[in-house]
Structure 1
Amino acid sequence: MSKDIRIRKGLDIKLVGEAEKKTSKATRSNVYAIKPDDFHGIVPKVIAKQGTEVKAGEPLFHSKSNEKILFPSPVSGEIAEIVRGAKRKILAFKILSDKEQKYADFGAKDVSAMSGDEVKTHLLASGCWPFIKQRPYDVIANPDVAPKAIFISGYATAPLSADYDYILEGKEQEIQVAIDALGKLTDGQVHVSIGKNGNSPLAKLNNVVLHNVSGPHPAGNVSVQIAKLDPINKGEVVWVVNPQDLIIIGELLLTGKFNAERNIALAGSSVKNPQYYTTKIGAQVSSVVYDSGVYDEGNIRVISGDVLTGENVKPDGYLGYYHSSISVIPEGDDYEFFGWNKPIFNKISPSRALTFSWLFPNKKYSLNTNTNGEHRAFVVTGNYESVFPFDIYPLQLLKACAVNDLDAMEQLGMYEVAPEDFALTEFICVSKQPHQQIIREGLDLMLKEIG
């Protein structure tokens, strides 16, 4: 039985530069890059060495801890460079793309005739397994542990994020095939969430439990939906899949080809013509950004992902493996004289002290990356709770992570959260503490010590 989810706590950050709903094909990128750091907790073991020719879908590396988990090339071409950092850590695999793409053939499959084990084996062999992540810990799912449920959030609420209702349109067949396949991997239910007032292609899916979600950000975060529908207790596992990744999985099952194509939103106040582009995972950001043109080219920040949780990739960087948007906003490298002691009309704040954004709830703002303050010790304000829709004490959990108190982390609900769930508390933090980094390090410690 479906259940509506209505979130009251949160904060919608309305920014100038939302992508117009029209799609163009991005300029073909000459080089594509897959970064092992996109797969948190994975230590890569090289399969395709520098100079090797690969087809789209053939593996570049596998996980050192589980060689069954393969990470494929998004395009065919030559491995131009394996970029290494300190202590020879692998930072990126760069592929010089062929003009005519060649695909590894994994064979078309009839999902209705496959068992759960056959689906799992096929997804592992084809390199689609990294699209499946798990809670707790927000890492790639362990194929040896069955989940109690699978969650897919088709409701994006982060600022300037891609509109799933738009980018999934016309891909209903691929999504349904992927859903049917994933349903064989769990004895529980496949939960799909959509916007209450939207017209989502996901609304017509079979073999799912559909939920209508409404409320401010982070209502679209899958952790919030899990907490409201089927909370995670110690020893339990839930799998999570991004809606656009369902298209890749479904197309693989239908055609036998790993097609890493993705529709992304190019948005932000520094973009002259924000819109959607069709590109591929790992493409050069410049192949998308400069198609639309930017304002003040020397003073911008290019972010792969949304402005709250994305990665600063610079104009010569590459699209992240899990990202469906590129955000371009002004770099906040200016100093505002007496900014703490005068009325503020052009910024968003949950506080009413010398700020007036609460008077204009629908106004869109052009914000930059300035933190408007400096790092200091935690100040107890009670503000975090106003934007944090979990039944969890956020400040206490952050402090438990900061001091590596595993018992307190367990008791305070660490199994239910991911770093992205603390993006808003980080945004409004008067202490300018790196909340997402603190939570990530806490989850890593729990994974290492508790597993």
Structure 2
Amino acid sequence: MSKDIRIKKGLDIKLVGEAEKATENAIISNFYSVRPEDFHSIIPKLVAKEGTRVKAGETLFYNKDFEAMKFVSPVSGEITEIQRGPRRRIDAIKITADKEQSHLDHGKFDLSADADKIKAHLLASGCWAFIKQRPYDVVANPESTPKGIFISGYASAPLAADLDYTLRGKEEELQTAVTALSKLTSGGVHISVGKGTNSPLAGLENATTYTVSGPHPSGNVGTLINKVDPINKGEVVWTVNAQDLVIIGELLLTGKFNAERVIAFGGSSVKKPRYFKTKIGAEVSTMIYDNGVDKDGNDRIISGNVLTGKQVAPDGHLDYYNNVITVIPEGDDYEFFGWNKPIFNKISTSRAFTFSWLNPKKKYELNTNTNGEHRAFVVTGSYEQVFPLDIYPMQILKACMYKDLDEMEALGMYEVAPEDFALTEFICVSKQPHQKIIREGLDLMLKEIG
């Protein structure tokens, strides 16, 4: 099999505000938050109560359906609030951090151990949360054996963190994590890197490296899975984010859960885009208002990239999996007869009234306006232009909407995740919420089929 993967279908969205390759330490956050909703499908069972003092890496809650699966605190400090929603659902666990951090020592791990011991160690230390599975795009089931583990080391999303930069100097941790993970699969570990880049992930032992090129979503792990080893009914693969490998590797080497993150902070509303070193669950305000974002500006703060991230409040917290914070203008203004005149400042795959195709390298300052209203699906054939998977995007979306499980299976639902439909949602003339539709379809399959 060729180790080169070239994607032709897709769309590069070039935006103003790419982070400069310079890293600063973010202001140390006083408060951290862990939200169980970040771990989709997990029913949390609380261990730590309000007023309890915890160390970094100490258990906050575990999975009610699999008690050995622990979820741990990113910092040491005192649990000051348990936020609850309807029916006493746990919405967030807030921790007031200590000035001097202390870590729970899980002990240095012997990498010659067998798969069962590695699995038990990752479950007990909280690192299992970083391993997700397909089908269903949820935290991996420890009782299953994946046919492969997939890691994308190339970020092609707009304003995404440059993984070649953020992973620099972490080769030992990366190799340790990959060596351990390789024992958990009946197949192999598959890693993608960008063509012409100098990735720290390239050339790791106990893994197969693929060079990918082409427009977004060439960097999505779903694209790698589809081109290397597509998922059929009854099969399971696991995925891990590249930066999370560093946390897993450091835990195995030192016994400490170090929740450090290098965050790309960018967007057209940021005066000085750059990288920050912070921790999982930190307050986003520690990176925003003291660093060039207008407090009185009409902007949207996004934890994640502009296609798949979610809006957070100025006093919100960094999600468990994201390594990007994007700030762009809020799109709550409207153009008079905007649909009936030439458009030069927006991106479109259509050549009707738009001219972005004339200058493919131009960077745009886009806002959050959807430029249209929600309506029924319009068959234009545009989805297929930006969707590189061997799947019919419109048909699978419709199958999810009318909840036909047999058709969802036949169309390849086991293989996809919401992020795979971010581009089709972006170009959708019907303004349908594609990622939400796919997420609800996956949840239905998980409930009915398991």
Same fold (TM over 0.5): yes
**Matches of 1:368 and 1:319, distance apart in 2:** 21
**Within 5 Å, which residues of 2 pair with 1:341-420?**
341-420=340-419
Q: Which residue of 2 aligns with 1:47?
A: 47
1:79 maps to amino acid: I
Q: How does 1:275-290 map to 2 (within 5 A)?
A: 275-290=274-289
Give the 5 Å matches for 1:218-233. 218-233=217-232
Whole-angstrom CA distance in 1 between matches of 2:341 and 2:295: 28
Which residue matches 1:154? 153
**In structure 2, distance between residues paired with 1:100 and 1:293:** 29
CA contact (8 A) 2:47 2:62 kept: yes
Q: Distance between the aligned counterparts of 2:279 and 2:56, measured in 1?
A: 11
Residue aligned with 1:175, SS: helix
Matches of 1:283 and 1:125 in 2, distance apart? 23
Q: Does 1:73 align with 2:45?
A: no
How big is the shift at 1:406? Answer: 0.4
Distance 2:129 2:295 in 1: 37
Distance between the aligned counterparts of 1:447 and 1:65, measured in 2?
14
Is the deviation greater in 294-303 or in 231-240? 294-303
Instruction: Give the corresponding residue for 2:234.
Output: 235
Q: 1:17-416 counterparts in 2 under 5 A?
A: 17-111=17-111, 113-295=112-294, 297-416=296-415
Q: Secondary structure at the match of 1:93?
A: strand
Please tell me whether the aligned partners of residues 153 and 221 of structure 1 are also in contact (alpha carbons under 8 angstroms).
yes
Answer yes or no: is the 8 Å Cα contact 1:248–1:259 preserved in 2.
yes
Instruction: Tell me the CA shift for residue 296 of structure 1.
Output: 6.5
Q: Tell me the TM-score normalized by structure 1.
A: 0.99
After superposition, what is the alpha-carbon deviation per residue over 1:137-174, rounded to whole angstroms, capped at 9, x for unaligned? Answer: 00000000010000000010000000000000000000
Alpha carbons of structure 1 residues 358 and 157: separation in structure 2 relative to 1, 3 Å: same
4+ residue runs of structure 1 moved beyond 4 angstroms? none
Counterpart secondary structure, 2:252: helix
- Indicate conservation of the 8 Å contact 1:15/1:367, yes or no: yes
In 2, the alpha carbon distance for the partners of 1:297 and 1:398 equals: 39
3-state SS of 2:18 partner = coil
- CA shift, 1:88, in A, is 1.6
3-state SS of paired residue (1:298):
coil
Deviation at 1:110, TM superposition (A): 2.2
Q: CA deviation at 1:2?
A: 5.5
Once the two structures are superposed, residues 77-110 of structure 1 have per-residue CA deviations (whole angstroms, 9 ceiling, x without a partner) of 0001001112221110000000000100000112
CA contact (8 A) 2:59 2:70 kept: yes
Matched-pair contact (CA < 8 Å) for 1:406–1:446: yes
Q: 1:2–1:210: 8 Å Cα contact kept in structure 2?
A: no
**Cα deviation digits, residues 404-437 of structure 1 (max 9, x gap):** 0001100111111100000000000011110000
Amino acid across the alignment from 2:56: A
1-structure distance, mates of 2:154, 2:271: 26
Residues 273-296 of structure 1: CA deviation (Å, up to 9, x unaligned): 100000000000000112322146
Q: Read off the aligned partner of 1:243 and give its amino acid letter.
A: A
- 8 Å Cα contact 2:203-2:209 kept in structure 1: no
**CA–CA distance in structure 2, aligned partners of residues 363 and 306 of structure 1:** 19
For residues 253 and 66 of structure 1, the distance between their equivalents in structure 2, rounded to whole angstroms, comes to: 22
Asked if structure 2 preserves the Cα contact closer than 8 Å seen for 1:26 and 1:291, the reply is no
8 Å CA contact retained: 2:271, 2:293: yes
Secondary structure in 2 matching 1:291: coil
Alpha-carbon distance between aligned partners in 1 of 2:411 and 2:334, rounded to the nearest angstrom: 38
TM-superposed CA distance for 1:299, in Å, is 0.3
Q: Number of paired residues?
A: 450
- Which letter does structure 1 place at the counterpart of 2:87? K
> What CA RMSD, in Å, does the superposition of the two structures yield over aligned residues?
0.9
Asked whether the equivalents of residues 270 and 296 of structure 1 are also in contact (C-alpha less than 8 Å), the reply is no
Using the alignment, how far apart are the partners of 1:339 and 1:66 within structure 2? 53
Taking structure 2 as the reference length, the TM-score comes to: 0.99
Gaps of 5+ in 2: none
Deviation readout 1:215-262 (Å, 9 max, x if unpaired): 000011111110100010000000000010000000001110000001
* Aligned counterparts of 2:182 and 2:96: Cα–Cα separation in 1: 37
User: Which segment is superposed worse, 289-298 or 198-207?
Assistant: 289-298
3-state SS in 2 of match to 1:169: coil
User: Among the aligned pairs, what percent are the same residue?
Assistant: 71
Q: Secondary structure at the match of 2:65?
A: coil
Q: Distance in 1 between matches of 2:405 and 2:296?
A: 46
Partner of 1:12: 12
Task: List gaps (5 residues or longer) in structure 1.
Answer: none
Distance apart, 1:204 and its partner CA: 2.9
Distance 1:86 1:364 in 2: 43
Which amino acid in 1 is paired with 2:276? Y
Q: Deviations over 1:305-326 (max 9, x none)?
A: 0000001012111001000110
Q: Could you tell me whether the CA contact under 8 Å between 2:272 and 2:291 is conserved in 1?
A: yes
Partner Cα distance (1:384, 1:150) in 2? 28
Give the Cα separation in 1 of the matches to 2:135 and 2:296: 40
Contact conserved, 2:289 with 2:295, CA < 8 A, in 1?
no
